[in-house]
Amino acid sequence: MKGLFLTLEGIDGAGKSSHIDALEALFTAQGRQVTRTREPGGTPLAETLRALILEQPMDPLTESLLVFAARRDHVVRVIEPALARGDVVLCDRFTDATFAYQGAGRGFDPAVLSTLEGWVQADADAAARGLLQPDITVWFDLAPEIAAERLAGARVPDKFESQPVEFFKRVAAGYAARAKDAPRFVRIDADQSREAVWQQIEAALAERGLVASQSGGAP
């Protein structure tokens, strides 16, 4: 069975991570093997870099280089082998987050990010099949002001979560720009109840023939 690469994207507080368990259960119930992972992270090396990225102050170029270094190790060691086995790969963030956070949010040159993307997400077969990209991206779209309310007091914030609302407005605009010309994006209205958000996700996957139609609410 062909592998499926599904990513979840959205600003901090949009609620994307709360649906990964349900997605894993949905695909498992339909007989698929699931590899669940995240970015930055997913391998011991990438998790070490994640801690630096989320906690240490650094300029946007250093930050972007570390993000893509973590991604390369993740792609080579986890994502590509899982897809080759025919797994469903559920990844909490991927390259769209880099263009949204480091690009739009931090104001880093998107042309440089595109160059790094080309280096990191290509392999010997890239000429034939292009860059590694998600098959489908579930984008949790939520107003930054509402996301900030959800995050308030939830835990000790990392350096991104502690950014002002204006930063997240830029990040949200970055996601919207990425989604504009990418059919793989599915926009989810995240300003709804957990059950209503799950129903949108489930319907979008069923519409694309990725899962059988279901009739329940959020697990």
Q: Quote the CA–CA distance of 166 and 8 in Å, as a whole number.
A: 22
Q: Quote the CA–CA distance of 86 and 32 in Å, as a whole number.
A: 8
Q: Are strands 4-9 and 88-92 parallel, antiparallel or unpaired?
A: parallel
Spell out a b/e string for 79-109, using b for 16 or more CB atoms within 10 Å of the CB, else e: bbebbeeebbbbbbbbbbbbbbbbbbbbebe
Question: Is 12 labeled as ligand-binding?
Answer: yes
Tokens representing 88 are 């469903």
Question: Is 174 labeled as ligand-binding?
Answer: no
Question: Is 29 labeled as ligand-binding?
Answer: no
Question: Is 3 labeled as ligand-binding?
Answer: no
Question: Is 159 labeled as ligand-binding?
Answer: no
Whether the Cβ atoms of residue 142 and residue 10 lie closer than 8 Å to each other: yes
Is 66 strand, coil or helix? helix
Question: Is 14 labeled as ligand-binding?
Answer: yes
As annotated, the binding site for ATP includes 10-17
